[in-house]
């Protein structure tokens, strides 16, 4: 936890918060904070800054906060990801949140196991926890938005054009013959397939929407490794 994330309910005054529960425990037990210490704080979807510890009791901590710094810049990337298995999904979402991705579409694909869509990881509350962990790690405040698209073809044929407007459009695919571009540092829409990859028809459907199919070398990476590697390559 590199930043204490606050929500509006924590405020007891315009510049004063009282926090309880797991954040309070972390501040006391892990950070070993005492009265007078200064902590990095941020309002979810708002500014960041400092919080001075004014009071500590066993049930709560009171901070005087001064939140005037905007959060770090977001990546100009929309990530479109074939739904991975639940455990991997959690890790990928946390990782891309730390990397500054703010728009994530989780889509179906031929090789996505149907059961993945039933996972409790996809509940709003559980997803929110994962994203918050990513923000707390990265020192960021802006929650990514996540969209679910359970039908591949209608999504790609009818929605993707608008979503990817004015962006570089690429699909990462191990079998591609062209190498992924690097350091493009501009608005990008990146599609990443499931374990085992997209089937040929899906790649064709994406190519019809002007998505260029690219690889990242001979080595076949797991999605959870490939996504950070591609992001680091695109936005170096």
Among 63, 81, 95, 172, binds its own copies (CB under 8 A): 95
Residue 68 makes contact with its own copies by CB under 8 A: no
Judged by CB under 8 A, the stretch of 131-139, 143-151, 152-160, 161-169 that binds its own copies is: 131-139
- What CA–CA distance (Å, rounded) separates 126 from 129? 5
- What CA–CA distance (Å, rounded) separates 66 from 68? 6
- Subset of 157-186 contacting its own copies (CB under 8 A): 182-183
Judged by CB under 8 A, the stretch of 49-57, 77-85, 123-131, 219-227 that binds its own copies is: 219-227
Q: How many CB atoms lie within 10 A of CB 7?
A: 13
Instruction: Return the closest-CA partner of residue 41 out of 22, 19, 67.
Output: 67
Q: Which is nearer to its own copies, 43 or 95 (CB)?
A: 95
Sign, CA dihedral 131-42-5-30, equals: positive
Number of residues that bind its own copies (CB under 8 A): 28
Among 93, 138, 169, 190, binds its own copies (CB under 8 A): 138
Bridge partners of residue 4, in order along the sequence: 41
Among 20, 45, 72, 117, binds its own copies (CB under 8 A): 72
What are the residues whose beta carbons fall under 8 Å from the beta carbon of 49, sequence distance 6 or more? 40, 41, 42, 65, 66, 67, 68, 69
Residue 98 makes contact with its own copies by CB under 8 A: yes
Applying CB under 8 A, the residues found at the interface with its own copies are 2, 72, 91, 94-95, 98-100, 137-140, 182-183, 218-222, 224-225, 228-233, 236
């Amino acid at each position: 936890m590199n930043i204490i994330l606050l929500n509006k309910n924590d405020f007891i005054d315009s510049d004063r918060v009282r926090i309880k529960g797991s954040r309070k425990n972390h501040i006391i037990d892990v950070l070993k904070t005492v009265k007078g210490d200064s902590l990095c704080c941020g309002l979810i979807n708002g500014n960041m800054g400092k919080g001075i510890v004014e009071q500590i009791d066993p049930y709560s901590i009171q901070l005087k906060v001064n939140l005037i710094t905007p959060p770090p810049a977001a990546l100009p990337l929309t990530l479109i990801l074939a739904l991975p298995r639940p455990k991997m999904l959690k890790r990928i979402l946390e990782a891309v949140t730390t990397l500054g991705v703010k728009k994530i579409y989780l889509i179906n694909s031929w090789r996505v196991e149907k059961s993945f869509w039933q996972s409790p990881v996809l509940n709003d509350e559980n997803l929110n926890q994962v994203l918050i962990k990513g923000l707390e790690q990265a020192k960021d405040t802006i929650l990514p938005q996540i969209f679910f698209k359970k039908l591949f073809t209608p999504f790609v044929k009818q929605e993707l054009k608008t979503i990817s407007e004015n962006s570089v459009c690429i699909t990462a695919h191990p079998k591609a013959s062209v190498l992924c571009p690097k350091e493009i540092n501009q608005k990008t829409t990146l599609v990443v397939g499931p374990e085992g990859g997209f089937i040929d028809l899906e790649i064709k459907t994406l190519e019809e929407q002007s998505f260029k199919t690219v690889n990242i070398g001979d080595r076949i990476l797991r999605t959870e490794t490939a996504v950070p590697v591609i992001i680091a390559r695109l936005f170096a």
